[in-house]
C-alpha cells in the first residue's frame, strides 16, 4: 500500500527557501503520527541528494526522520545524471528553451516554466514508480509535490497498485 502526502517542497529540507523550523517540526510530527498510525515500513519522497545540495540544505526532513525511526528511506526523484539520460530538462534549461527575458516578472516566469514542466511529469512519475516497485509489498508513505497528486494517482490506478491519497496538500492547520 502506498499512502500519498502532497506538499510544497520547501518542507522537505532545511536549506535556502525552506519552511521555518517550527513548520518543518510540525510537519515532522505529523509524519511521525502517520507512520505510527499506518504502520509505515518505508518513507519515500520526490527529492534527492542533488536537491539537498542545490538547496544548500544539510539534510532531507524525511531522511532525518527515517534515521530517527530506523525505517527505510528512499529518494525517488531522478538525479541530475538520470534526468539527462531520461531527457528531462531542469528549470533553468526550460527557461532557456522558452527564451524568457531576464526582465519578465518572476510570477510569469514561474507560471510559464511550470506549465512546460508538466510535459515531463510522465517520465518522472514512471521513474518514481520504478524506484517504489521493490517496496510494493510494504507499507509506503510517499511524499510528493501536490502538483503531481492527480497524475501520479492515475499512474498507480493504471498499474493496479493500491494507494490512498492521505493528504492532498499538507498545511499546519
- Cell matching residue 102: 531576464
Report yes or no on whether pTM surpasses 0.85.
yes
Q: Of the candidates 4, 75, 72, 64, which has an alpha carbon nearest to the alpha carbon of residue 29? A: 64
Number of domains in the chain: 1
From residue 123, alpha-carbon distances to 70, 117, 128 in Å are 31, 11, 9
Is 132 domain-assigned? yes
On whether the CB atoms of residues 3 and 141 are closer than 8 A, the answer is yes
Is 46 domain-assigned? yes
Q: Kindly report the CATH number assigned to the domain that includes residue 63.
A: 3.40.1010
Is 173 domain-assigned? no
Longest distance between any two alpha carbons in the chain, whole Å? 50
Structural domain including 155 reads 2-88+121-167
Is 101 domain-assigned? no
Expressed in percent and rounded to 5, the helix, strand and coil fractions of the chain are 55, 15, 30
Query: Which residues touch 25 (CB under 8 Å, ≥6 apart)?
Result: none
pLDDT by residue for the chain (173 residues), tens only, comes to 999 999 999 899 998 777 888 999 999 999 999 999 999 999 999 999 999 998 889 999 999 999 999 999 999 999 999 999 999 999 999 999 999 888 999 999 999 999 999 999 999 999 999 999 999 999 999 999 999 999 999 999 999 999 999 999 999 87
Amino acid at each position: 500500500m502506498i499512502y500519498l502526502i502532497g506538499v510544497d517542497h520547501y518542507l522537505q529540507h532545511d536549506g535556502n527557501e525552506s519552511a521555518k523550523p517550527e513548520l518543518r517540526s510540525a510537519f515532522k510530527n505529523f509524519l511521525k503520527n502517520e507512520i505510527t498510525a499506518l504502520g509505515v515500513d518505508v518513507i519515500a519522497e520526490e527529492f534527492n541528494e542533488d536537491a539537498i545540495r542545490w538547496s544548500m540544505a544539510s539534510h532531507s526532513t524525511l531522511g532525518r526522520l527515517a534515521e530517527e525511526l530506523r525505517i527505510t528511506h528512499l529518494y525517488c526523484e531522478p538525479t541530475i545524471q538520470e534526468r539527462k539520460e531520461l531527457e528531462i530538462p531542469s528549470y533553468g534549461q526550460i527557461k532557456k528553451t522558452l527564451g524568457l527575458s531576464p526582465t519578465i516578472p518572476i510570477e510569469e516566469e514561474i507560471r510559464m516554466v511550470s506549465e512546460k514542466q508538466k510535459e515531463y511529469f510522465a517520465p518522472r512519475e514512471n521513474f518514481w514508480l520504478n524506484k517504489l516497485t521493490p517496496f510494493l509489498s510494504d507499507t509506503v508513505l510517499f511524499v510528493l509535490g501536490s502538483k503531481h497528486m492527480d497524475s501520479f494517482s492515475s499512474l498507480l490506478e493504471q498499474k493496479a497498485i493500491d494507494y490512498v491519497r492521505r493528504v492532498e496538500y499538507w498545511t499546519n492547520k
